[in-house]
Amino acid sequence: MSGSVAPVRAELTVAHAALVDSAVEILRGRRIAVLTGAGVSTDSGIPDYRGEGAPARTPMTFQQFLDDDDYRKRYWAGSQLGWKRFDAARPNDGHRALAELEIAGGAGGGVNGIITQNVDGLHLRAGSQRVVDLHGTMDRVRCLRCGQLYARADISHRIDELNPWLADPGATALGPDGDVEISSVADFVLPTCGACDGVLKPDIVFFGEFIPREKFVEASALVQKADALLIAGSSLVVNSGIRLLDHATRRHLPVIIINRGATKGDSRATLKIDGGTTETLVALRDQLLT
């Protein structure tokens, strides 16, 4: 499996270890659908939207991006500056633990797939085989006019050619979607579609944009075929996560939530573990695969 992040072998507190033991009792021998949020990737250096200590952000909406060249310039300039750092992120031990549980299949607790709200592609890079990226992925770019798809690396190269003055300032803070704040974009030249000269947009779901129906159907199918739902690193503020939780609770599936701080699903969880996702997922893997 890929990745160069140092392994995590944190000692769990007695209380945390006891909760992991309880989760193992619930999950052992079951097919597990997994829903992950930004908290799973924080140990890979990608910040969280809503976790403890996360700065307040006002993300660009899809309508703003669609309606205004200035918004598009601001998005693409900031995204270009953050892309290389975002792309350099590597899977952490939590990602790898989930991949190993999926590959192990029914050997004492198997993951039947990952549903992720993240756009970083780290689950695939960690070795997970069935990943539903509910909110899209940053490594693809789509034309809004003709639908042509491009590799993000190719568009990044084109932006460099169009804007040789644009340099990474280094000190700016990376955002959860691989963007940074930039002060002036007046001279920025937007990339356009090579096929039809249309507007290009990263193949991710912006705020105010609907999740593609086929993605949610695929995610729901994973929950439908599962015997348990494991939610890791999501505060469940986004409606898609709550809908999947609803699906699981209607089927009376056990639900395990791992997250630092409260989530909107805590009252319906079979078990809530208030702690870091990486060390908790590693501990779960170690027990479920023995």
DSSP 214: H
Residue 200, helix vs strand vs coil: strand
Say how many Å lie between the first and final Cα of the chain, rounded: 20
Q: How many whole angstroms separate alpha carbon 232 and alpha carbon 127?
A: 17
Q: Which two tokens stand for residue 189?
A: 């030249």
114: left (phi over 0), alpha (psi -120 to 50) or beta: beta
Catalytic residues: 135
On whether the CB atoms of residues 187 and 77 are closer than 8 A, the answer is no
Phi, psi of 86 (to 5 degrees): -65, -45
DSSP 131: E
- SS3 track for 58-120: CCCEHHHHHHCHHHHHHHHHHHHHHHHHHHCCCCCHHHHHHHHHHHHCCCCCEEEEEEECCCC
At position 219, the amino acid (one-letter code) is A
Other CB atoms within a 10 A radius of the CB of residue 266 amount to 14
- Nearest one of 104, 125, 129, 134 to 29, comparing CA atoms: 104
β strands within the chain, DSSP E = 31-36, 110-116, 131-133, 136-143, 149-151, 200-204, 228-232, 255-258, 271-273
